[in-house]
Amino acid sequence: MAKISRVQLKQLVESAIFVAEQPLSQERLQQTVLEGLAVSKTMLKDVLAELKLDYQARGIQLVEVATGYRFQSMDSLSPWLSKLWQEQAPRYSRASLETLSLIAYRQPITRGEIEDVRGVSVSSHIMKTLSERGWIKVVGRKEVPGRPSLYATTKEFLDYFSLKSLSELPSSDEFIASPESEEQRKQLLTMTEESNTEELPPITSEDPAKDLSDGSEQPEQLH
């Protein structure tokens, strides 16, 4: 295998993540730009850690999400950088946010169980839109009469909210113990809104998110 210096390796990894259209995992890096080079997993891991430190104090940061590493702008710069985009930020209905939050915390969950917690019906439009957005998917069917679909979040959901895994979500112990609590629902909505960077799209290759408003309830804007 060809050898590469640590400086060159760092430059190559940095460039690959910068130009990639999607987050790059360590495995993907090894299989593509580092193929044929004498780069161990440990060496690659160390270089990625160095790059994260290099960008820590900058406006652009190297972030690890569910599917790999990507560069994105700091959340705190959103009010200013958002002026670069002419389009208005998409609006999300409360029903959509509550549905997404319930799936994230109680997955796998059926549509009927979501309705039991919210106390109102969940429109098929909401489920369809969240599925088309790539944030939720059907992972099976519950073994009860009618065998309703079980929904769970996806890696795309984690990537969008800059999470490596579901374990990084705020604690849901109290919510699970008493899902009817209005205060807990508000906390879930707050979590979703604070995690979203829609007003300032991260510097990635992803397209701006589409409107998830279902039109049935007063929309709220993520920020």
| CATH assignment at residue 134 | 1.10.10.10
Q: What does the alpha-carbon distance between residue 189 and residue 102 come to, in Å, rounded to a whole number?
A: 10
- Element (DSSP H or E) covering residue 60: strand 60-65
* pLDDT of 217 above 50: no
Chain centroid offset of residue 56 CA: 20
Total H helices, total E strands in the chain: 10, 7
The per-residue pLDDT of the chain, averaged, comes to: 80
**70 and 96 belong to one structural domain:** no
Q: What does the alpha-carbon distance between residue 159 and residue 202 come to, in Å, rounded to a whole number?
A: 11
Total structural domains within the chain: 2
For residue 121, being part of any structural domain is answered with yes
* pLDDT of 37 above 50: yes
Chain centroid offset of residue 35 CA: 29
For residue 85, being part of any structural domain is answered with no
pTM, entire model? 0.64
* pLDDT of 7 above 50: yes
SS3 of residue 33 by DSSP? coil
**197 and 105 belong to one structural domain:** yes
SS3 of residue 106 by DSSP? helix
Q: Give tens-digit pLDDT for 107-130.
A: 999 999 999 999 999 999 999 989
**pLDDT value for 175:** 45
**205 and 98 belong to one structural domain:** yes
